[in-house]
Chain A
């Protein structure tokens, strides 16, 4: 199995996104490195807009992810409610 991963800049906004990812991907591993946070999960990693909004306590749209994004691994699929990274095998 391959690890899908995402890395975000280490800042206030990202902390809520990371919390949401941890909640929606219980098996994910979170790694803190200088100025960045890397989250990886076997096979698939998802970010749900609703969970991030709940953590932030305000509206948030998926493309706002671009502002804090550093890198990713996996095939991207994005719509209004969810962003996912998947390796097909």
Chain B
């Protein structure tokens, strides 16, 4: 009996059962006040089973090992000036968008799991949330460390935290996490733990990070895969929460299904930015957005939903719309950002001839028919010294906060548009998915901080573009924004590599 080495299952049981206690002088409902208001019914927390059975000692041991590996590579990266080895300086713009748009979401996730973990009555679920909160904090820290190196050499990184709370396109990811964190604890778990982590983060971290490696960016692939090594555990937690809720009480099914529908749609809208990063911002391509979508949503997500069918869970509403959009979304979002390239803290550009050929090959049904002619026109305008910028402010979707630029999959040449009325006001939506979300909780979404409305209401520094973009957003005008061609980033890159811009070559030749 003595000296018996306890096994993993037993250790995990001791951690997650034995550490809890009965609340003898406080009412249970006072200790966990948020557990019931969403309508979720929990009858027995002891049925919670975390398949990874990770104990605290093993957690610290392996997380420390991950950190040591990561920082060894980041040090080597900066000591060797490896920023010079990325494919070309356009690539760095994908990383700017990552740091400003995605990394703050890691911080939001850290706070979210900290808050929600406190509200769950089961100690197994609380321990898992605590570990995930620490993981997410690690992710944001390592991402900021990795990018602080890029900040020394490229424009647009300097005010990422200030920008996150203000800039129009960053409100897409900010509002996504704000929405989740202002929901109840179980909706948060289904939103972030299941719909985002299990169904969608692979699309963000796996093919994009493999692409970073293929573009010579060891820093990004290293923080990306280091973060992703925790994601496998997060995905498992997300799946466990779904199974647990569905096994606890049959009344939970319709609530959980509605959350899955909502957060799948919110997640796919947010990931349309990643679609454009993959197809347009990686000079060396690993796979197209469409291919990534097919492997990680249609195939992996398909298996997942088949497995969950035994609980009565179905594929999310509008999954078919999202599947049809895979051939369009990256081109449409890149068009939006190209249009508003004067209002972004990163550079945009038109693809080269070779890159357009790649897009034609990868998107045989859509690229030549709908997008290539427009892009070629824009390229001609640029060559004639009239690079196109859209001078108006876009109308935003009330739910996802993306400009209204997605088209109708029945007729891909016309913009999709829906409207709802609430309390005498009209609200606009990019899709049926976004409209459904609003219609279910209009009192929540009428409060959305929509960047364009805020500009018109005079809450963003003043009436002129300079006031908003320069003073309020803190974009260095003429430096961080506008086309990549002619940017200080491009100029420095050419000097470092003894490259000459094409125009200079022409001048010398004549």
Q: Which residue of B lies closest to A66 (CB)?
A: B62
| Cα A66 to Cα B67 with chains together (Å) | 12
Which residues of A lie under 8 Å from residue B233 when comparing CB positions?
Answer: 66
Which interface class (under 10, 10 to 19, 20 to 34, 35 or more) fits B? 35 or more
The contact string, 1 if C-beta is below 8 Å from chain B, for chain A 1-23, is 01101010100000000000000
> Could you say which of A66, A74, A80 contacts B229, with CB atoms under 8 Å apart?
A66
Interface of B is mostly: helix
Residue B232 interfacial (CB < 8 Å):
yes
User: When the two chains form their complex, are residues B232 and A72 in contact, meaning their CB atoms are under 8 A apart?
Assistant: yes
User: When the two chains form their complex, are residues B236 and A76 in contact, meaning their CB atoms are under 8 A apart?
Assistant: yes
User: When the two chains form their complex, are residues B306 and A79 in contact, meaning their CB atoms are under 8 A apart?
Assistant: no
Residue B389 interfacial (CB < 8 Å):
no
Which interface class (under 10, 10 to 19, 20 to 34, 35 or more) fits A? 20 to 34
Give B residues with C-beta under 8 Å from A: 7-9, 51-54, 58, 62, 65-66, 69, 202, 205-206, 209-211, 213-214, 221, 225, 228-233, 235-236, 239, 286, 299-300, 302-304, 306-307, 309-310
Which residues of B lie under 8 Å from residue A76 when comparing CB positions?
Answer: 51-52, 236
User: When the two chains form their complex, are residues A71 and B53 in contact, meaning their CB atoms are under 8 A apart?
Assistant: no
Which residues of A lie under 8 Å from residue B65 when comparing CB positions?
Answer: 67
Residue A28 interfacial (CB < 8 Å):
no
User: When the two chains form their complex, are residues A79 and B214 in contact, meaning their CB atoms are under 8 A apart?
Assistant: no
Give A residues with C-beta under 8 Å from B: 2-3, 5, 7, 9, 33-36, 62-64, 66-80, 87-89
User: When the two chains form their complex, are residues A34 and B286 in contact, meaning their CB atoms are under 8 A apart?
Assistant: yes
Q: Which residue of A lies closest to B66 (CB)?
A: A67
| Cα A17 to Cα B200 with chains together (Å) | 26
> Could you say which of A9, A35, A73 contacts B300, with CB atoms under 8 Å apart?
A73
User: When the two chains form their complex, are residues B52 and A79 in contact, meaning their CB atoms are under 8 A apart?
Assistant: no
Which residues of B lie under 8 Å from residue A89 when comparing CB positions?
Answer: 306-307, 309-310
> Could you say which of A2, A7, A68 contacts B306, with CB atoms under 8 Å apart?
A2
> Could you say which of A2, A9, A33, A62 contacts B303, with CB atoms under 8 Å apart?
A2
